[in-house]
Structure 1
Amino acid sequence: MSAALESVLEATMGSLFRSEEMTLCQLFLQSEAAYACVSELGELGLVQFRDLNPDVNAFQRKFVNEVRRCDEMERKLRYLEKEIKKDGIPMLDTGENPEAPQPREMIDLEATFEKLENELREVNQNAEALKRNFLELTELKHILRKTQVFFDEQEHAGLNSTESMTRALISDDNIARQTALGPVQLGFVAGVILRERIPAFERMLWRACRGNVFLRQAEIETPLEDPSTGDQVFKSVFIIFFQGDQLKTRVKKICEGFRATLYPCPEAPADRREMAMGVMTRIEDLNTVLGQTQDHRHRVLVAAAKNIKNWFIKVRKIKAIYHTLNLFNLDVTQKCLIAECWVPVLDIETIQQALRRGTERSGSSVPPILNRMETFEDPPTYNRTNKFTKGFQALIDAYGVASYREMNPAPYTIITFPFLFAVMFGDLGHGMLMFAFAAWMVLKEKPLAAQKTDNEIWNIFFGGRYIIFLMGLFSMYTGLIYNDVFSKSLNLFGSHWEIRNLTSKDVLDNGVLPINPTWDYVGHPYPFGMDPIWQLAENKIIFLNSYKMKISIIFGIIHMLFGVVVGLFNHLYFKRRLNIICEFIPQILFLIFLFFYMTILMFIKWIKYAAPHPINNPDVTTSSFCAPSVLITFINMVLFKSPEEKDTEGTKKNPCDPWMYGGQNGLQMLLVLVALLCIPWMLFAKPFMMMQERKKKHMQLNTHNTENGDLDGSGAVQAQGQVQGGHKEEEEDMAEVMIHQGIHTIEYVLGSVSHTASYLRLWALSLAHAQLSEVLWNMVLRNGLTQGGGLGGIILWALFAFWATMTVAILVLMEGLSAFLHTLRLHWVEFQSKFYLGQGYSFTPFSFEILLETAQATSEAAD
């Protein structure tokens, strides 16, 4: 029992640092139980099926009809959803996850959706017809009202309508001639047209009829609803007077071309009033019928809105099951389905239990069979994650999915990523803002996750809430180390510097004084972080430059060394003895003997040399005056150049020792020689050892063929031909190995230099962030603090608002994003390049949860 528990614990802990151990299985399912078993596996989400019918067209597979039925049901549900959203009815989302319905329930679902769609379409068609009648009656009502106004205006002018229109259309001579012959007969048409078409309509009438028509138009104040689209449109009423049938035909064609609607309009006022009363009565009746139709439509949609979410889930699950079943093969008897799938080894028992549940649900008596298979194919990579590690794993997978069972950088990234970010973003105040925002997202996690939104920026922030949380927390720590809070310092323990040998006049005459450790330093270090006095020192930048540049190099070399050591675990796990001897050992020696030695020199310089002090450090040789430059020492070391001892005054020798310790020159020469020897070691050792091993195998193969060969010449000739052909193929492989090893060696050697310099971005961004924060304080908020009185309070309030906005927008968001991207580069290039191949493919199990989330995101994006 204890041994089994230990093995489980070892496998679980191993999966944290490596991907899960996967196996290829063959699954035999009875046809009647296949649907229920696949449904259980979909709920479990731990099985990735392979397509066993890659050459079969999608329309020729066994369950294509069922998939089409699901597509049709999904189309009907989308139609219902569109109508529900059109009416603004909320869709009930209880958060339930109903199981996939049985195949026999598909008929009931299809009948329900068919009934709802037909009923809704019929209601919509009736409503559209009623709205069209309502629109026509409304337009007729406005025509009767407006034309009555036209005729009333002419009567008030002292002329009857016919006479006034006649005078508008015909000249005085023609009127006299026509009056002698008989009364003039004028015709007119009335209708409604879109308001924006009136100018063009009027011009066309004038040109086509040569000015022999009279047009009057008036706008309809209230917008009218288009029954086809539901849009609100503005229209105008018009009436056109003309003489003769020829003009009447021409006017009607023009009205038809401009899509104007013509309506009958009586000439007699009494007839118009009678028609208007009839129109009003019909409009009231139509309003009643329309209201009842809308109420019925609303009831249908409300009833559908209660279940539409669950219906979508059920239909999508059914469709996913049949899609998966199309990946299976049928055996010869047509009674059994055969599938192949990748499964995690630790979850085989859970998968078998799910298969048994599916068999019991289907009522089948034949149990499913799950057999492990041997394969040379690379399994998929599966890293178990939770809500905390998911974001960090996503950062790694964005660069490339790990090869199968390769060391996973995510566990180390959980610590190194926020720490390196914080080195660049070290400010207690800014880190506190970031920490507070992430803590709010973490505490309100469930309600925020329930409010599903398609805002991509918010989804990125919320998905990385734990990354932001740790980045803010680590930034608060480094902010305390730098003693930097919104470009100011915290005086927690009191300064350990004292201004001595200065009179009051000296202090008053000098606004800013450089700190001199010879006289001003008390003698013991500040308990934690930077002394607050550095905030007032003139040489603050000089001191912080040196400090941050050195720690960035130290952190970078340690980070790269750790990456090379992680690569050793890959070699040990995959039993690559040759890689350990020919790659890991020279790589680690090259990095330690050159670059890690440089960090040791930094620590020696910090420990051995100090500021000259008459009491604490009276020895000149251990003072900062005699401290050699680490960079110059390193350059001289690589160039095999010894530092020259300079004479200061004639015969008087410089008391400073150019070496930090005894025997430094000889040790440095040894280190450089070993590091240089590591380059041909990395370049030639592996191809040479591979060649020796292959020659040994050839000799064994030739000996075996000679002992077991045929006595006649044919067998010997054939064996020789085979060996020669194989030798040619191996020579090509060796050429590829040589090229690959050369590229790998050059990349590592040059990369060690460039990657070390790349970590200087920690120093550069940290200094830039601190200086930008200080500039913002001095140029904005400091001016508000110098003002007094009531006006000063108002100015301070306005400047503080501006300062706070700029702090959040520039120093937290923009600078935070910049530091995030630089930290990402340090992990992807400088750290992971030492051990991480990232040439795998991710494990994509058949999971209802993933399918439903993808479908939901797709539908929201389409909306």
Structure 2
Amino acid sequence: QITGTRSGPTDFSSLNTLNPDVNVFQRKFVNEVRRCEEMDRKLRFVEKEIKKVGIPMVDTGENPEVPFPRDMIDLEATFEKLENELKEINTNQEALKKNFLELTELKHILHRTQQFFDEMEDPNLLEESSALMEGSEGGRGAPLRLGFVAGVISRERIPTFERMLWRVCRGNVFLRKAEIEDPLEDPTTGDQVHKSVFIIFFQGDQLKNRVKKICEGFRASLYPCPETPQERKEMLAGVNSRIDDLQMVLNQTEDHRQRVLQAASKTIRVWFIKVRKMKAIYHTLNLCNIDVTQKCLIAEVWCPVSDLDSIQFALRRGTERSGSTVPSILNRMQTKQTPPTFNKTNKFTSGFQNIVDAYGIGNYREINPAPYTIITFPFLFAVMFGDMGHGLLMLCAALYLVLRESRILAQKIDNEMSNHIMQIFTVWLRLPTILGKSHLLVQKEKKI
């Protein structure tokens, strides 16, 4: 096992499964594979948090050695600690932001309600509110004692909220509202939400219960608001003090989170490589057979004859680096089985070979048409294209990709060219519709 871990990757053509009758979940190293998958999941969580804040992940191009099996415990502990720390920070930060949002909304309510009460001293508004309350409980025999509730609601729900209050309460409520100029951050989603402050005056417990149920149905946040100006002023001062303290705590929490993610961004690429190498090795070991002593693994591999020396060197290097006293043994076997097809390619010919393999892979020692397609595929493309202008544009695009190859590969974006090509062709196919008649319609008119 240690030798396989330290020998590193080799150009094996095919590795046969020597225990096909054993269920995948019952093989010897299935627990190690699961541990690697769990570590990979934790790293993906950390990577997601790093991308969320826009911290660039350092990719030095380093190809680290595969860790020893005993180092797996240290990696697991490191990833577990990092994940728990980030989750704890996120939970605390979300709770702090929720508290900050509530205090901010309460501050706006106290400020706006004071303006509402100042405006209510206007005799015209008093006559308007008194007229709304005519016919309600208590009649005109005694001075009206109005109750009120104050809260915050999403701005786009205000029209529906106002109509519902008017219909359910039959016009026996008095609503005042004012928009909050700056958007407020939702602590759960992080979106900026525009909200409005409202205050509703009513008389009687029955209307109070109706108003509260309507506010609950529209997800409006209700806050306690004192009745006297002096109490509102004192509460506003206390709220402002708590907001300042909470803002300082939020800044410290965000700084700590940034430091944790900044440190993780420097090594996360190396961690990914180590974990996935370990997972690949344990997956390979699951294809091997274990002898009766339970101490030796036997693997059966198809490989090119020209790579035998490289494989022997890799095994010897793995034995030396692992410190094992028992060397790995490589035997060449004679068999009547048909070997799998192996076509050696490089960076240039691999694209043509992939196109050929898409139509079918030849049998062993069958002639490979890929070398000829290096000429025939571009020629057939030119025959179908037949346009020097468009060909020049594609040549420029291809030249750009060749010159930017290293930078594009460093970004490690999966399937980005397919996405770009689909977007470009979508725009291209819609251009005839935008500019006028399509090509098919023009051809049809010519035939007619």
Pairwise CA distance, 1:427: 7.0
1:456 aligns to what? 417
- C-alpha spacing 1:123/1:425, structure 2 compared with 1 (3 Å): closer
Distance 1:202 1:424 in 2: 65
Q: How big is each residue's C-alpha offset from its partner over 1:188-237, in whole Å with a ceiling of 9 and x where there is no partner?
A: 11111222222332333233333322222222221111111111112221
1:153 aligns to what? 119
CA contact (8 A) 1:223 1:232 kept: yes
CA contact (8 A) 1:47 1:342 kept: yes
Pairwise CA distance, 1:435: 4.7
Distance 1:409 1:173 in 2: 95
1:186 and 2:152 aligned: no
Distance 2:51 2:358 in 1: 36
TM-score (norm 1): 0.46
Pick from 61, 79, 83 the counterpart of residue 27 of structure 2. Answer: 61
- C-alpha spacing 1:265/1:325, structure 2 compared with 1 (3 Å): same
CA contact (8 A) 1:154 1:164 kept: no
Pairwise CA distance, 1:359: 1.5
1:309 and 2:276 aligned: no
- C-alpha spacing 1:247/1:459, structure 2 compared with 1 (3 Å): closer
CA contact (8 A) 2:179 2:197 kept: yes
- The more displaced of 188-197 and 163-172 is 163-172
Distance 2:314 2:136 in 1: 101
Distance 1:407 1:397 in 2: 13
CA contact (8 A) 2:150 2:224 kept: yes
Pick from 19, 22, 37 the counterpart of residue 4 of structure 2. Answer: 37
1:202 aligns to what? 162
1:234 aligns to what? 194
Q: How big is each residue's C-alpha offset from its partner over 1:687-743, in whole Å with a ceiling of 9 and x where there is no partner?
A: xxxxxxxxxxxxxxxxxxxxxxxxxxxxxxxxxxxxxxxxxxxxxxxxxxxxxxxxx
Pairwise CA distance, 1:314: 0.7
Q: Give 3-state SS (helix, strand or coil) of 2:332's partner.
A: strand
2:97 aligns to what? 131
1:253 aligns to what? 213
Which amino acid in structure 1 is aligned with residue 96 of structure 2? L
Pick from 329, 340, 346 the counterpart of residue 386 of structure 1. Answer: 346
RMSD: 2.8
Distance 1:59 1:216 in 2: 66
Distance 1:209 1:173 in 2: 13
1:593 aligns to what? none
1:416 and 2:382 aligned: no
- C-alpha spacing 1:431/1:279, structure 2 compared with 1 (3 Å): closer
1:76 aligns to what? 42
CA contact (8 A) 2:100 2:243 kept: yes
Pick from 350, 356, 361 the counterpart of residue 401 of structure 1. Answer: 361
Which amino acid in structure 2 is aligned with residue 354 of structure 1? A
- C-alpha spacing 1:375/1:192, structure 2 compared with 1 (3 Å): same
Q: Give 3-state SS (helix, strand or coil) of 1:188's partner.
A: strand
Pick from 241, 247, 250 the counterpart of residue 281 of structure 1. Answer: 241
Which amino acid in structure 2 is aligned with residue 189 of structure 1? V
1:500 aligns to what? none
- C-alpha spacing 1:39/1:404, structure 2 compared with 1 (3 Å): farther
2:75 aligns to what? 109
Distance 2:32 2:279 in 1: 8
1:777 aligns to what? none
TM-score (norm 2): 0.87
Distance 1:303 1:311 in 2: 13
Pairwise CA distance, 1:459: 8.3
Q: How big is each residue's C-alpha offset from its partner over 1:641-673, in whole Å with a ceiling of 9 and x where there is no partner?
A: xxxxxxxxxxxxxxxxxxxxxxxxxxxxxxxxx
Distance 2:160 2:104 in 1: 24
Distance 1:173 1:121 in 2: 54
Pairwise CA distance, 1:283: 0.9
Which amino acid in structure 1 is aligned with residue 351 of structure 2? G
Distance 1:119 1:434 in 2: 50
Pairwise CA distance, 1:425: 5.8
Distance 1:440 1:451 in 2: 16
- C-alpha spacing 1:158/1:411, structure 2 compared with 1 (3 Å): closer
Pairwise CA distance, 1:46: 2.2
Q: Give 3-state SS (helix, strand or coil) of 1:43's partner.
A: coil
Which amino acid in structure 2 is aligned with residue 409 of structure 1? P
Distance 1:356 1:285 in 2: 63
User: When you count helix as a share of all residues, which structure comes out higher?
Assistant: 1
CA contact (8 A) 2:176 2:199 kept: yes
Q: Give 3-state SS (helix, strand or coil) of 1:227's partner.
A: coil
Pairwise CA distance, 1:306: 0.6
- C-alpha spacing 1:398/1:291, structure 2 compared with 1 (3 Å): same
Pairwise CA distance, 1:430: 6.3
Distance 2:397 2:241 in 1: 63
Distance 1:107 1:62 in 2: 18
- C-alpha spacing 1:317/1:105, structure 2 compared with 1 (3 Å): same
Pairwise CA distance, 1:456: 2.7
1:362 and 2:329 aligned: no
Pairwise CA distance, 1:166: 3.8
What is the aligned-residue identity percentage? 68
2:442 aligns to what? none
- C-alpha spacing 1:219/1:425, structure 2 compared with 1 (3 Å): closer
CA contact (8 A) 2:107 2:236 kept: yes
Which protein shows a greater Rg? 1
Q: How big is each residue's C-alpha offset from its partner over 1:310-331, in whole Å with a ceiling of 9 and x where there is no partner?
A: 1111111111111111111211
1:615 aligns to what? none
CA contact (8 A) 2:64 2:270 kept: yes
Q: Give 3-state SS (helix, strand or coil) of 1:211's partner.
A: coil
Q: Give 3-state SS (helix, strand or coil) of 1:205's partner.
A: helix
Pairwise CA distance, 1:52: 2.1
Pick from 172, 176, 180 the counterpart of residue 220 of structure 1. Answer: 180
Q: Give 3-state SS (helix, strand or coil) of 1:341's partner.
A: strand
Q: How big is each residue's C-alpha offset from its partner over 1:399-432, in whole Å with a ceiling of 9 and x where there is no partner?
A: 1111111011122222333345556666777666
Distance 2:211 2:297 in 1: 74
Pairwise CA distance, 1:167: 3.6
Unaligned runs of 5+ in 1: 1-33, 462-804, 807-813, 815-863
- C-alpha spacing 1:276/1:111, structure 2 compared with 1 (3 Å): same
Give matches, 1:641-652, under 5 Å: none
Distance 2:137 2:358 in 1: 91
CA contact (8 A) 2:148 2:200 kept: yes
1:97 aligns to what? 63
Pick from 332, 335, 339 the counterpart of residue 292 of structure 2. Answer: 332
CA contact (8 A) 1:37 1:354 kept: no
CA contact (8 A) 1:37 1:357 kept: no
CA contact (8 A) 1:35 1:321 kept: no
Which amino acid in structure 1 is aligned with residue 416 of structure 2? N
Which amino acid in structure 2 is aligned with residue 378 of structure 1? T
- C-alpha spacing 1:444/1:168, structure 2 compared with 1 (3 Å): closer
Distance 1:400 1:79 in 2: 39
Greater relative contact order (Cα 8 A, min sep 6): structure 1 or 2?
2
Pairwise CA distance, 1:81: 0.8
Pairwise CA distance, 1:47: 4.6
Give matches, 1:237-636, under 5 Å: 237-422=197-382, 434-435=394-395, 437-453=397-413, 454-457=415-418
CA contact (8 A) 1:91 1:309 kept: yes
Pick from 132, 135, 143 the counterpart of residue 168 of structure 1. Answer: 132
Which amino acid in structure 2 is aligned with residue 234 of structure 1? H
2:16 aligns to what? 50
Distance 1:322 1:170 in 2: 82
